[in-house]
């Protein structure tokens, strides 16, 4: 295969003005500032170059590696530190997940986020179940996704998979069953006003009696609403409920 000179750079084909470069740098700095205030590790993935640019090093992907080491590895980081089962989940995301995006217009692609859980290895070879969220930020003219912004955090689920695509513009989400390779729709969970009031006070550390006093209702009424909430979101206790609500931006 013929090798090309390093002088053949994208900039030689697509001239970029100084103002555009300045705008891009400012945008990146704003993203980094926002990323510093999040719990998860935020980074940009370039699918064309397979490079990673970490915006916030919160736990550095939870592997124990330094941010610089992860950036040097790029996408090979996942190839090296993902378990065998985790790689199967990533293959499903790269095939079925991106096929879902192929059905959308270029503008629509940027309005959607795909989320999934998979097992990775830390530097001590321990399994860590993480959640990965991706949203496209740059689309090629042919519709291919060039860059995505990603957020990595510990998963609140107990198993891998949980592949889901959703947009704030729609009241439904699409979940993928990776066992039978099939997408299905389901309505988004919407909390009732009373449920939001109760959860908000739980987040402040209040107990049932204190919440009841604040809302001028009985403790049994609190327990009733809490039970219905657990059933709605599929959890068993208030700790799981708070984690689920935070992870899924239900407040």
The domains located in the chain, with CATH, are 17-187 (3.30.450.20), 193-247 (1.10.10.10)
Interatomic CA distance for residues 73 and 192, integer angstroms:
45
Give the global pTM: 0.80
Q: Are 163 and 100 in contact (CB under 8 A)?
A: no
Q: What share of the chain is helix, strand, coil (3-state, %, to 5)?
A: 45, 25, 30
Quickly tell me which residue has 């090309």 as its tokens.
Answer: 4
Contacts of 36 (CB under 8 A, 6+ apart): 56
Tell me the CB-side half-sphere exposure of residue 171, using CA atoms within 13 A: 3
Distance CA 93, CA 96 (A): 6
Residue 1 has a pLDDT of: 32
Tokens of 207: 């107990």
Region of poorest pLDDT, from 41-50, 55-64, 139-148, 194-203: 55-64
Q: Tens of pLDDT along 226-247?
A: 999 999 999 999 999 998 898 8
Q: Which residues, including other chains, have CB under 8 Å from residue 126's CB and lie 6 or more apart?
A: none
Mean pLDDT of 62-82: 84
Nearest to 103 by CA among 145, 133, 72, 75: 145
Higher pLDDT, 54 or 215: 215
Enclosing H/E stretch for 52: strand 51-54
Contact criterion met (CB below 8 Å) for 163 and 176: yes
Which tens digits make up the pLDDT trace of 81-109? 999 999 999 999 988 988 899 989 988 99
Q: With contact defined as beta carbons under 8 Å apart, do 129 and 157 qualify?
A: yes
């Amino acid at each position: 295969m013929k090798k090309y000179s390093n002088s053949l750079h994208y900039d030689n084909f697509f001239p970029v003005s100084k103002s555009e470069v300045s705008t891009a740098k400012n945008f990146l700095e704003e993203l980094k500032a926002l990323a510093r205030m999040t719990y998860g590790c935020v980074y940009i993935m370039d699918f064309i170059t397979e490079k990673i640019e970490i915006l916030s090093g919160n736990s550095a992907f939870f592997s124990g590696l330094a941010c610089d080491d992860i950036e040097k590895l790029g996408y090979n980081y996942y190839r090296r530190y993902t378990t065998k089962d985790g790689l199967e989940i990533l293959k499903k995301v790269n095939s079925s997940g991106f096929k879902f995006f192929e059905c959308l217009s270029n503008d629509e692609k940027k309005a959607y986020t795909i989320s999934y859980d998979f097992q990775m290895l830390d530097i001590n070879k321990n399994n860590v179940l993480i959640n990965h969220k991706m949203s496209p930020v740059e689309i090629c003219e042919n519709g291919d996704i060039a860059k995505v912004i990603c957020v990595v955090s510990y998963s609140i689920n107990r198993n891998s998979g949980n592949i889901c695509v959703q947009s704030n513009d729609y009241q439904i989400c699409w979940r993928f069953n990776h066992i039978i390779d099939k997408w299905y729709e389901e309505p988004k969970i919407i909390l009732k006003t009373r449920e939001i009031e109760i959860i908000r006070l739980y987040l402040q550390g209040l107990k049932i009696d204190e919440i009841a006093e604040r809302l001028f209702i009985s403790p049994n009424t609190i327990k009733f609403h809490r039970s219905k909430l657990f059933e709605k979101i599929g959890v068993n206790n208030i700790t799981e409920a708070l984690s689920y609500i935070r992870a899924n931006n239900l407040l």
